[in-house]
Homo-oligomer: A and B are copies of this chain.
Amino acid sequence: MRDIYHDELDEIGAVLIRMAKIVGVAMQRATGALLDGDLTTAESVISSDPEVDALRAHTEERCFQMIARQQPVATDLRVLITSIHMLTDLERMGDLALHIAKVARLRYPDRAVPDDIRDVIEQMGSVAQSLVAKVADVLEGRDIELAQAIEAEDDSMDALHRKLFTLLLSPNWSHGTEAAIDMTLLGRYYERYADHAVAVARRVVFIVTGQWPDPLASGFSTLG
């Protein structure tokens, strides 16, 4: 029989999965709002972000109280400290979806994304969606192989990011400086969203195996 302490640890795991789903929906809606110039959807992403922030703050406090009151053994303590880091990553993913929605709102009634850039932004949105769906699965099943697939998928985000810069720097770029600035910031938001998704996956690997996926890789340590 599980004790109350482990029930509570499971509940924190459930919140992490829920947050991954919430920031996944936020990203899906933000990308849709951006590509379709849809102000209502953009506003809904923006207005729902404080819920994610509050969920992070509340759940971090729960982790803290569990550590303070239960004085968990090393393994459970590792899970709780790592959960606090994952909460921060997931909250930040919500913020990045919010930033994308704000670009959509800023340019409304125009569409922020020029037609010849639409494809690459749409693909960045798809990769972000796919990454966060896998993150929720990894959190649910603690599946190490799936966590590794997330790192591979992050490479395709990096490739799309490079492709975006190639398009912006092409002599055919005819959309001016404002659109170039918007696309630069959007590219950064999608890339950082993916980076935080990878961070969450790596933290799950750390909890399960006790080892960082690759201690020499600097990728993880550049997050925060």
Interface positions, chain A 45-93, Cβ under 8 Å from B, are 50, 53, 56-57, 64, 67-68, 71, 74, 77-78, 81, 84-85, 88-89, 91-92
Assuming the contacts A78-B64, A81-B64, A180-B180, asked whether A222 and B95 have C-beta atoms less than 8 A apart, the reply is: yes
Q: How large is the interface on A (under 10, 10 to 19, 20 to 34, 35 or more residues)?
A: 35 or more
Copies in the complex: 2
The yes or no answer to A165 lying at the interface (CB within 8 A) is: yes
The yes or no answer to A188 lying at the interface (CB within 8 A) is: yes
Contact B68 A77 (CB under 8 A): yes
The yes or no answer to A40 lying at the interface (CB within 8 A) is: no
Contact A88 B88 (CB under 8 A): yes
**Minimal beta-carbon separation of A209 from chain B (angstroms):** 16
- Most chain B beta-carbon contacts within 10 A, residue among A85, A177, A221: A177
Interface positions, chain A 153-205, Cβ under 8 Å from B, are 165, 168-169, 173, 177-178, 180-181, 184-185, 188, 196
A169 surroundings in chain B (CB, below 8 A): 177-178, 181
The yes or no answer to A109 lying at the interface (CB within 8 A) is: no
Contact A221 B78 (CB under 8 A): no
Report how far A77 CA is from B56 CA in the complex, Å: 19
